[in-house]
Structure 1
């Protein structure tokens, strides 16, 4: 990983911080910037290169901060702008860059623009910044079209004067009109504001949704182009953004859920986004043929534009890895989430340890979600404590995303203040202070793996060569450097010739790799093209699914 400093993002390990649930510095039960600053040495010791902060801006928190009321101020529950500037500088002194989250598709209904729009007249200039329309039906009582919100129900809400406004997510998140030049100017100014405060990059939320067909037609399955997903107008927006980023040496990572590899790659052309999340890998089941195909497809779609792939196992929107891998369906699909799904956490933890070594060994950059390094499972939140709008908009059938957003257990002692989401009683065994002293813990595994990834030649961006392997086994070499072998089969597997074992996700058995275990080896493997055993595939989707943040 000896890339020039300006190319740090091509091989980086990036840690996602969900501020509200990371660390509580003032003891009120809610995470804050003081807590993050206190834990910066922990993050540096973990061995990551950068921190991605989900929105920390002023927000009513109708959708976990993705309803932004002011992009240039920190929510008082988290701290102040001055404290954010100190955090950025302190993190950089420890070798940690900062990435902030920009939400360009929509704002909060408390944003000054939308408040003015509600006070303005139909057809007035204030409403032109959003998508206001008259309704259908004899009295305009029906929504302007049949679009559905990503959170369930109609994507339209009616205001007292009879007009309707568009919101692809919650009603508290009105969509901006990106054909309006003021919207584009404002967001370019927001980018400059944060780059001038020292951030190294920007994560772009729902990056494929900004542009809408101006006619706002009804949705027709298979219609091309889609009325609001992946429209060609987006690329002009991101070319303008890239010019801003280049002036500051900043980088972008886009959240782009698309099934079409060629369309996905367009966002990664040299004058647009630097990287985009590999969400197909995140959704892929624990099955060798599916995983290999997903890896091959990701590398192939990035190759023509020279962009590095990114690897993600979980984030603040999806079921935690330990839980997902302990279920009969090990893939991820928003549509299949339900209460009470049977889970084998012992099996899930073993697979998650192996998946950690797999993802950290792949070419490109990797993202870790807070608590992933502790092996946290998904928490089942009591229904009366759920706050996620996905739960309410689904009529209570979807458990929502709160289960992966529970505050981290830093110590085995119970928190002094009740966390904003309840911590399960049995989470004491996952506490960071306990794991730090345990050589067999998930935290120790991640610290060791990230340390090797940084110091061992061959990791990060670069070539991958598949090696011959037995049924259910994935094996690949990273150039002339390390070899990664993952056994997803049912029987122990032999290892290729090697000089030394660098790290294993679990104990080897008589020199063989047990099922659901991964190992890093020093020593060059023999290039080959053996295919993994297809009969080990599990049910579950592996492609880029619906639009989600």
Structure 2
């Protein structure tokens, strides 16, 4: 953003998530690495994003591809080393790009030295760093809690005759955040990376950190069906979202703010929190400030219907605490891609929605290419969740496939066999090819990101829904004298939107389609699957 108008970079900016295994390989092992990300920084800067968030790159046995951390203060050799990270950070900053890391505080790898000590004996000083419990009177696990990857969340340790708790894989034991020593150690991890210069942390499964102290059974889920997966058989009433987690989030915020300029929050904290909105918003903080951006995932699961989305957006805006900054997400490394959910025709409309709503948007790598989910042959499935419940199509491999850069072998991603297969249409759906096509979805993303920079109303302006009917979702963005209308046709038929009086004489600033929509008789005619940004003719043109 050329001018911040007193807003912080993470409020005016756009975040781009990189899944490092799949972005760019430079050492010909089929897996992406830090040097690969550094080699593509010019692309990211030219795309128009403001920050990159990198999924875990810490040393790990890779049972869950980096979310099983064996050392929080180093880099896995598959990705490079600390010197490579420092170079990437310096080169990102040289291009005006911020860099965020994934922080995984809920659990470690079972090979982390802390857990190795913890399971050594019941009287080991680090025993209480993890969650150990005696069996139930019948000898079975202490309660009915279920792993998010299916099956019991308790693993029996024969040597010490107790169970340990794991919300995910058995190779990912949960830390005991009620232990002050654990909190101090993890806060030191945050300081290690902030001292190194990172601009923020995305906090993995923040709402999982604290469990009910007496470990009661979770209630059964009355709406459970086998298609939902084993984890949903019970409601996670006692195993997540406990009141004590908010003091921890506030401590984390205080650490982040201590690195800012005058406590202004230059270092951003983003919380991964899958909860209903009324509980999600508590993570902004009530008595003390907590995370800057509790991730808002509503668009991922929402029905793609204009009236439903209008209600969702209005309710979220109305529920935000005072001074809380909104944020929006359309995809990530765990959920089906936008183009897979909505189809190619609506993927451009979704891009316009994401990049013109009030708040901070997060893009997932290759969504700017319209990449869809990739069918993974059974013999090539890598994701542990997909391997554990293969019939339920819960695997996340389809959304983690390699970034296609050009038409050369393996799409320019690697000189070796990629760790996951490429999408079938990579010879035409790649950066180099689509960059030459003036009406590709990549070109659309670039125009949208440029419009956010040129028009403060789109990045930081006020938001108000406009009256619309049928498949049209329409809203106004306003900052100072600048007033813009965003009109989105979420359907496959021609739609008409009556314009307010102030916009009766307006023009199309940007369309998702090749030719501008027709504006006539105080209305705009939206073609099937079209989104437009409108500007009154008496306002400044795009800079």
Aligned to 1:134: 134
1: CA distance, partners of 2:476 / 2:38:
38
1: CA distance, partners of 2:206 / 2:197:
23
Aligned to 1:390: 385
Aligned to 1:506: 513
Aligned to 1:543: none
Shift of 1:96: 0.4
Aligned to 1:115: 116
Shift of 1:414: 2.0
Aligned to 1:154: 152
Q: Deviations over 1:98-122 (max 9, x none)?
A: 1111111101111111111222x23
Work out whether 1:315 is the aligned partner of 2:332: yes
Matches within 5 A, 1:91-106: 91-106=92-107
Shift of 1:453: 0.7
Aligned to 1:253: 270
1: CA distance, partners of 2:537 / 2:322:
29
Matches within 5 A, 1:77-92: 77-92=78-93
CA contact (8 A) 2:218 2:239 kept: no
Match of 1:144 among 123, 142, 145: 142
Aligned to 1:489: 491
TM-score, L = length of structure 2: 0.88
CA contact (8 A) 2:508 2:517 kept: no
Shift of 1:457: 2.9
RMSD of aligned Cα (Å): 1.9
Aligned to 1:518: 531
Q: Deviations over 1:141-184 (max 9, x none)?
A: x1111100001111111112231110011111100000001110
Shift of 1:4: 5.1
Shift of 1:463: 1.1
CA contact (8 A) 1:11 1:363 kept: no
Shift of 1:412: 1.2
TM-aligned CA distance change 1:524 to 1:202, over 3 Å: farther
CA contact (8 A) 1:481 1:524 kept: no
Shift of 1:490: 4.3
Aligned to 1:40: 41
CA contact (8 A) 2:132 2:164 kept: yes
Aligned to 1:358: 353
2: CA distance, partners of 1:225 / 1:519:
42
SS at match of 1:196: helix
SS at match of 1:324: helix
Q: Which moved more, 1:6-15 or 1:54-63?
A: 6-15
Shift of 1:396: 4.2
Q: Deviations over 1:289-319 (max 9, x none)?
A: 11111111221222x2311111111010000
Shift of 1:5: 6.8
Shift of 1:477: 0.9
Aligned to 1:75: 76
2: CA distance, partners of 1:95 / 1:432:
22
1: CA distance, partners of 2:397 / 2:390:
16
Q: Note the residue ranges of structure 1 that are not aligned, 5 or more in a row.
A: 326-347, 526-549
CA contact (8 A) 1:459 1:481 kept: no
SS at match of 1:293: helix
Q: Note the residue ranges of structure 2 that are not aligned, 5 or more in a row.
A: 222-233, 261-266, 520-524, 539-543
TM-score, L = length of structure 1: 0.87
Q: Deviations over 1:490-522 (max 9, x none)?
A: 431235335321111114565521122211111
Q: Deviations over 1:243-271 (max 9, x none)?
A: 1111112111111111151x322211362
CA contact (8 A) 1:390 1:398 kept: no
Q: Deviations over 1:66-117 (max 9, x none)?
A: 1111111011000111111111111011010011111111011111111112
Matches within 5 A, 1:262-277: 263-269=279-285, 271-277=289-295
Q: Which moved more, 1:46-55 or 1:486-495?
A: 486-495
Q: Deviations over 1:44-67 (max 9, x none)?
A: 000001011111111111112111
Shift of 1:436: 0.8
Matches within 5 A, 1:287-436: 287-302=305-320, 304-325=321-342, 348-415=343-410, 416-436=415-435
Aligned to 2:541: none
Aligned to 2:449: 450
CA contact (8 A) 2:145 2:239 kept: no
SS at match of 1:71: coil
2: CA distance, partners of 1:170 / 1:502:
49
